[in-house]
Amino acid sequence: MKITPFLDRRLSRRFATYDSDQDGFVERSDFDLASARLTEAFGLTPDDVPAKRFHEQLLSVWGHLAAMTDTNDDERISLAEYKSAFVRGLLGRPEAFDDVYVPYLDALLAVADHDGDGYLGVEEHVRWSLALMNVPEADARAAHARLDHDGDGLIGTEDLLAALRAYYFSEDADGPGAWLLGPL
């Protein structure tokens, strides 16, 4: 896979959202911290079932990411390792997200979908985006609007999965994936 300038910006932005403690590396502790921030933002304790499930799924994402990117086995990922993994075909094809991201997104909705309707309204989306990935409120609102294709104010797992795929695979600077983490 060739990293275009636009993909390079997206990868840098995503790396920054993974790096919860902003030390320049992505480590398991970043995922633990992100999980705690998210579940706390929705009023859950670490012992609540949805919080435990989300933490497990987030650690599954970490495990997959580390296995594919940590080339020097130091249990942390540098930005160079992260980008290099994409050149080597870390993702391969858009459908590769399903195995890792569908269970993760389902667990995310179990935490963030406060009213239990299976979808995220704009306030729920803003809250999880800020807590988990430090996306500013205005950017999260804009992202939600772009993901809400039918204008009903709600987005679901399929919308988020499509946006994730587009984030990594589409060069459309105006597409919903490009705005997932705010403007680039």
Distance, in Å, from the CA atom of 133 to the CA atom of 71, rounded to the nearest integer, reads 25
Residue 183 inside a domain? The answer is no
Put simply, whether the predicted model's pTM sits higher than 0.75 gets the answer yes
Cα torsion for 70, 24, 18, 35, to the nearest 10°? 100
Q: State residue 93's pLDDT score.
A: 61
CATH number of domain containing 128: 1.10.238.10
Q: State residue 175's pLDDT score.
A: 83
DSSP codes joined into one string, 110-121: HHH-TT-SSSB-
Contact 54, 112 (CB under 8 A): no
Q: State residue 31's pLDDT score.
A: 96
Q: State residue 94's pLDDT score.
A: 61
Residue 100 inside a domain? The answer is yes
**Per-run averaged pLDDT (10 residues), the chain, 184 residues:** 88 94 96 96 96 95 90 94 82 68 92 93 96 94 91 92 87 86 84
**E strand intervals along the chain:** 25-27, 76-78
Q: State residue 92's pLDDT score.
A: 62
Residue 84, domain extent: 5-175
How far the first Cα of the chain sits from its last, in Å, is 20
Taking CA atoms, 3 is separated from 44, 84, 104, 125, 132, in Å, by 39, 9, 26, 29, 26
Number of structural domains found in the chain: 1
Pair type for strands 76-78 and 25-27: antiparallel
Residue 182 inside a domain? The answer is no
Distance, in Å, from the CA atom of 137 to the CA atom of 139, rounded to the nearest integer, reads 5
